[in-house]
Structure 1
Amino acid sequence: MRAIQIDRYGGPEVMIRRDLPIPRPGPGEVLIRLAWSGINFMDIHTCQGKYAGSRTYPVRVPTTIGMEGAGTVAALGDGVTEFQLGDRVAYCLSWGSYADYAIVAAWRVVPVPEAMSLDLAAAAMFHGLTAHYLAHDLGQFGPGVTALVHSASGGIGQLLVQLGARLGATIYATTSSEAKAEVARQRGAAAAFLYDEGRFADRTRELTGGRGVDVVFDPIGRPTLRDSLRAARTKGLIVSFGSVGGSVKDLDPIELGEAGSLFLTRPRLADHLDDAATIRRRAAEIFAALLDGSLSIAIAGRYTLDDVEQAHAALEDRRMIGKPLLQLS
């Protein structure tokens, strides 16, 4: 089978295409013939070595890149009874999806409805399940809740905006361009505006009558996090769920007190997908909303194993609006 692997850390140049034997599933595992893989910042971070010392995501070199995909069940390991050969399935947070086949623990795998295409299922897993726990578990979206969503035209951002509007929350959105801001408005943002070198916090205060929002979702990090503190209300919540703009390494906890006794959390999806029932519940709700049209996911581009470096470069410089995919069959 074809696979994209890394033996060392670095940029797109460290990815190597190899021909490997098709693996065999062990007990409790499923072999999936992949049709599509999602392409995510986590793949870029895997290449860069950001998980080299992680306990939450213990991926180490050498490894096959990619951590979500969709396809059909090709083989079952001992003890797997919930799936059959040929079942349409999807998963996330299991590395090895930049390949024709992947071995995945059965408890991480979810069935894909017949009415849903496999490319949409691949696009929906990581971003969809992330947006689900952010909206429901942390943001607790509902009528009366106000939130600021950074990077609102990205894959997770678009879903967060839509979930907020769907659940009755008031969502303010920030982006890097007016074209991206218009995407956020179309997804249901009450207002969308530019980062403007941190002045987004002043704009957010204006829109909330000086109060600030209940929760800020910040996947960017260094360029935005301190101004995110200014955008939140007293005793508000700052959700730092990524650092694509660089890590903040000098934040003194006293700053949270000075900004209004704020709460700051740095969650990870794995801790919100800790059993099969939770994964399947979140996926089923996201899939149902996609099928009934109350949620939508924009596919930013479809790539092959031959141009995966191009996909990583486009994602890293944030040219994309939506979710890129890797086509495997």
Structure 2
Amino acid sequence: MAKGILVKANGGPEVLEYCDVPVARPREGQVLIRQNAIGVNFIDVYYRSGLYPSQLPFVPGSEGAGVVLEVGPGVSHFKKGDRVAYGMSSGAYAEERVVDEKILVHIPEGISDEIAASMMLKGLTAQYLLRRTFPVKPGHTILFHAAAGGVGLIACQWAKHLGATVIGTVGSQDKVQLAKDNGCDHVILYRDEDFVARVNEITGGKRCDVVYDGVGKSTFPGSLDCLKPFGMFVSFGNASGPVDAFNLGLLAQKGSLYATRPSLGAHVADRKVLDEMAADLFSVVKSGAVKIPLHARYKLSEARQAHEALESRQTTGAMVLLP
């Protein structure tokens, strides 16, 4: 047994119960780790509330970093004492846990457990968006919706480092400077301004090479009108609700556009690709070109307070729980 957070019934932050949770022995292809830091993401709220169904009871969370305590049969990539991190494995809110070897990565020297735990989901998402889905090059102009969000703060810094002109949208005035401090050349208040008209104004009518959209319903189809001919619309989230089905002919009408809906899971399914993506992410963070905005730390026992702060939008950047 180890200390952790258990959700026995869906509901508000009050259902996050700090108690003893069972810890299994690692089986074939699994690794037992002691966690030093655990990432907190808004998807954890969706599972806790029941918006995303999960079998009760369950330990929430999907991101963490720590040290290998024991390896199961057939594990070849890791050994006892290795520093490791992961970004896609449910059951993270616990002192110790078992994780499948295939989703773990080694943490290099120069990256702390706190930073690793706070950037795996968001950082690997930024990596596949900017480096694999639409590879950003010098001279590109990009539009990134929700630029002050967890993924946006990392992606906009990275895109700027890659030589792009970065236009970001944010939902409130207090996030404008934050977006500017994290890579955005131009910031649009998409709730108060016509973001399509502003993009047209900023680019002198040339528009963007790519739009990265994690907002969804409320920014579509406006996002398509921000693209130059042969530009790419990358939908990777639906914070405002999913994009409704649309006639593919719309892409032809608006300039022979491309549209895609990638997912992190598909990109990291291959061990070699996951290692390459993680190495790219760690490299750009170690160089200082991309800084991970870790703004809040809570004890694991304070998970309820962490969720309250997250849902009330009292925090910006990443948040971690410390066992």
Q: What TM-score do you get using the length of structure 2 for normalisation? A: 0.92
Letter in structure 1 aligned against 2:31: V
DSSP 3-state at the match of 1:223: helix
Match of 1:2 in 2: 3
DSSP 3-state at the match of 1:183: helix
Match of 1:97 in 2: 92
Match of 1:286 in 2: 281
**1-side partners of 2:255 and 2:313: how far apart?**
32
Sequence identity, in percent?
A: 39
1:47 aligns with 2:42: no
Letter in structure 1 aligned against 2:32: L
Letter in structure 2 aligned against 1:286: L
1:308 aligns with 2:303: yes
Contact map agreement 2:26 2:32 (CA 8 A) in 1: yes
User: 2:73 aligned to 74, 78, 101, which one?
Assistant: 78
Contact map agreement 1:69 1:97 (CA 8 A) in 2: yes
Letter in structure 1 aligned against 2:180: R
1:266 aligns with 2:267: no
Contact map agreement 2:6 2:21 (CA 8 A) in 1: no
Match of 1:25 in 2: 26
**1-side partners of 2:261 and 2:72: how far apart?**
35
Match of 2:137 in 1: 142
Letter in structure 2 aligned against 1:234: P
**2-side partners of 1:50 and 1:211: how far apart?**
40
The superposition leaves residues 150-183 of structure 1 with CA deviations (integer Å, 9 ceiling, x where unpaired) of 1112221011111111111211111123332222
CA drift at 1:116: 1.9
Matching of residues 119-268 of structure 1 within 5 Å: 119-197=114-192, 199-249=194-244, 251-268=246-263
Letter in structure 1 aligned against 2:34: R
**2-side partners of 1:51 and 1:196: how far apart?**
27
DSSP 3-state at the match of 2:221: helix
CA drift at 1:25: 0.6
CA drift at 1:253: 4.1
**1-side partners of 2:57 and 2:180: how far apart?**
42
**1-side partners of 2:312 and 2:256: how far apart?**
34
**2-side partners of 1:22 and 1:102: how far apart?**
6
CA drift at 1:306: 3.1
Off by >6 Å, runs of 4+ in structure 1: none
The superposition leaves residues 179-209 of structure 1 with CA deviations (integer Å, 9 ceiling, x where unpaired) of 3222222222221121134611111111122
DSSP 3-state at the match of 1:282: helix
**2-side partners of 1:263 and 1:204: how far apart?**
19
Match of 1:56 in 2: none
**1-side partners of 2:313 and 2:260: how far apart?**
24
**2-side partners of 1:86 and 1:304: how far apart?**
23
Q: 159-168 or 40-49, which moves further after superposition?
A: 40-49
Cα distance change of structure 1 residues 255 and 312 upon mapping to structure 2, 3 Å threshold: farther
CA drift at 1:94: 0.7
Contact map agreement 2:21 2:94 (CA 8 A) in 1: no
Contact map agreement 1:175 1:193 (CA 8 A) in 2: yes
Report the number of matched residues. 322
Letter in structure 2 aligned against 1:139: F
Contact map agreement 1:147 1:216 (CA 8 A) in 2: yes
CA drift at 1:257: 4.2
**2-side partners of 1:173 and 1:16: how far apart?**
38
Contact map agreement 2:210 2:233 (CA 8 A) in 1: yes
Contact map agreement 1:51 1:60 (CA 8 A) in 2: no
Contact map agreement 1:220 1:244 (CA 8 A) in 2: yes
Match of 2:37 in 1: 36
Cα distance change of structure 1 residues 72 and 214 upon mapping to structure 2, 3 Å threshold: same
Letter in structure 2 aligned against 1:168: G
The superposition leaves residues 3-33 of structure 1 with CA deviations (integer Å, 9 ceiling, x where unpaired) of 2233444443443333123321111100110
Letter in structure 1 aligned against 2:150: G
Matching of residues 113-124 of structure 1 within 5 Å: 113-124=108-119
Q: 70-79 or 194-203, which moves further after superposition?
A: 194-203
CA drift at 1:251: 4.3
**2-side partners of 1:289 and 1:100: how far apart?**
29
- Unmatched 5+ stretches in structure 2: none
1:64 aligns with 2:65: no
